Structure 1
């Protein structure tokens, strides 16, 4: 684990998954390693009513019904499409579900403009083909084909980023549950999916119109929409959980004061309200202002404080990180942030005091340095 920059969920939580598997006496669909109830418990954490001898931490923060519908879909013969704004935890939920169901979340296809049908089905080892001809041995299966043959979960990230030709390659896989290999004959010419095979795809709702899904492909997915976290308590739990992971990974002994976390949460709430009231896209930050971006701002501030500060996080550094992370267009984003500091933070710093005056000073200094 220490040799990995980022361990997949099945390795990171291996001991927990082993324990859950050992006490799980519920019915398991197909070749699932855990029952649906235990999959839900692994993702959402345990409660007293579960009556377990060991506490299971919550790993994804969201509505229970979303997780339950996702699990039920994966137990059916339909694909699962998690759709939502950037930073809502779609990929993380997909990884956790795959880890709990089959202990392998790494069978992933990344959707981009350069993704081809080979990434969905198979390609060939050219040197082996030249030496021995085309055979199953010289075939390079895609992550999706590998999942089909093993009866496990394959993942497709950013489905709408890939072209319509690539998306259409999924239609026969999701409906017929096999891949034809015209280059081979006989039994080797068809790769059938084993029970337990399913596909979890993710799509960014802001990419709508980039490569819209065909109606045929939509019919083969159950859509589960992941909403933006707006509950202040839930958002604070997510940010705190991720920050604690960061500190442990970097072995940093640095405390994040609760008052500074409140400043960060309030700042994002203010900026979201401003974006909602804006009349045009030019009056909005390019950032999605998601929970993931809050975590990124705090991570930047924590690392800067640890490496270049006084080993303590302060409001000045937090504001500098916020401006540096959110100012992606110049001068538009800088103007929006400057307006926010002048119109919202400055009056609040005079009325409430606390960390706000230092936050105001740090934000203004960061904007001045970038202008």
Structure 2
């Protein structure tokens, strides 16, 4: 798929979206490449974290994932050792985005994905059958439908498993043999009944730390993975960079010309920081917002406010609209979440609007109005 064709996609995968960058990195890459990797580990890291002046390359490679360098390096080393990689953390910490970027850089294919749910079966990670072909010609390799994981094994590339802990123990057990033996047996066939993994095959799985207790991983499966824990971003500077990066992408995708005033971005970041502090000091779940208050949710609030301003406002992002989007996005339980937000608006936003002025008074009014509407 060309970048011109990707314009017609709602969301292009990373290997399509950044094809030009990946082509460039391949052209200058002189490092050793494990297995069938398209880029060396150093170039994979550069693609994910961006280039630095010391790299001495002819063009700038922008940073795409914002987090500690050691997390990315450990993830790359794990995949170079052909062990499974498990990215674990709270919702919205960028686990899936990091998995996609790593897959795109390593094998130029991030779309071999299994989504873990309560309805995921062994067929989703092994194979199924084309019933019409089986009836017409019988069971054969031609009538077999490989799962994304089996396709990754056959091609020697990276397969992805999203939300591993949401799948049942039977599915997790089936994954153990794939990670251990590196092959899948097809007992229905007499000949050509084993699919062996080619060099370069590995699995990147993600798990939500808030799902602990849903379908805990067995000790046997844990031993097949190297764990990389992705923490919630709490550094204001890093969080601001993430939100700006995603906002630029959002505006391009929607073909919107709209400035996000730095003062409003500061208000958004400060509000989430305040609400996280309140959640950390809460003594019960009823005193916490149901939202994880992740960076991804901040981006969602900002996206909602931008689109509302574009379609129903005067194409200018204002504090009143931002406040309404924040309340509307975070008030998921009624009356619990509304009570928490109301307490925050009266106890924190109101004093801050009096002390700091600026955009805070309008933010205060917009939040009060939204809370009153939802109550």
Question: TM-score higher than 0.5 here?
Answer: yes
Q: Which residue of 336, 340, 349 corresponds with 2:340?
A: 336
Counterpart mapping for 1:1-371 below 5 A? 1-186=6-191, 188-371=192-375
Mapped partners of 1:303, 1:102: distance in 2: 35
Mapped partners of 2:190, 2:73: distance in 1: 42
1:195 partner SS: coil
Deviation at 1:185, TM superposition (A): 1.6
Deviation at 1:134, TM superposition (A): 0.3
Deviation digits for residues 249-276 of structure 1 (CA, Å, limit 9, x no counterpart)? 1110100000000000000000000000
Mapped partners of 1:182, 1:143: distance in 2: 19
Mapped partners of 2:132, 2:16: distance in 1: 34
Deviation digits for residues 349-368 of structure 1 (CA, Å, limit 9, x no counterpart)? 01110111000000000011
Deviation digits for residues 330-358 of structure 1 (CA, Å, limit 9, x no counterpart)? 01000000000000000010111011100
2:67 partner SS: coil
Mapped partners of 1:87, 1:182: distance in 2: 40
Mapped partners of 2:345, 2:111: distance in 1: 43
User: If the length of structure 2 is used for normalisation, what is the TM-score?
Assistant: 0.98
Mapped partners of 1:335, 1:355: distance in 2: 23
Mapped partners of 1:39, 1:240: distance in 2: 23
Mapped partners of 2:359, 2:280: distance in 1: 26
Moved over 4 A (4+): none
1:191 partner SS: strand
Deviation at 1:51, TM superposition (A): 0.2
Mapped partners of 1:249, 1:149: distance in 2: 35
Deviation at 1:78, TM superposition (A): 1.1
Q: How many residues align?
A: 370
Deviation at 1:2, TM superposition (A): 1.4
Deviation at 1:303, TM superposition (A): 0.4
2:65 partner SS: coil
Deviation digits for residues 73-110 of structure 1 (CA, Å, limit 9, x no counterpart)? 00113100000000000000000000000000000000
Mapped partners of 1:310, 1:38: distance in 2: 44
Mapped partners of 1:38, 1:351: distance in 2: 48
Mapped partners of 2:174, 2:10: distance in 1: 33
Mapped partners of 1:191, 1:291: distance in 2: 41
Gaps of 5+ in 2: 1-5
Mapped partners of 1:272, 1:325: distance in 2: 15
Pairwise CA RMSD: 0.4
Mapped partners of 1:267, 1:224: distance in 2: 29
Mapped partners of 2:8, 2:174: distance in 1: 37
2:87 partner SS: strand
Mapped partners of 1:216, 1:277: distance in 2: 36
Deviation digits for residues 171-216 of structure 1 (CA, Å, limit 9, x no counterpart)? 0100000000000123x11000000000000000000000000000
Mapped partners of 1:225, 1:125: distance in 2: 39
Gaps of 5+ in 1: none
2:332 partner SS: coil
Deviation digits for residues 60-79 of structure 1 (CA, Å, limit 9, x no counterpart)? 00000000000000011310
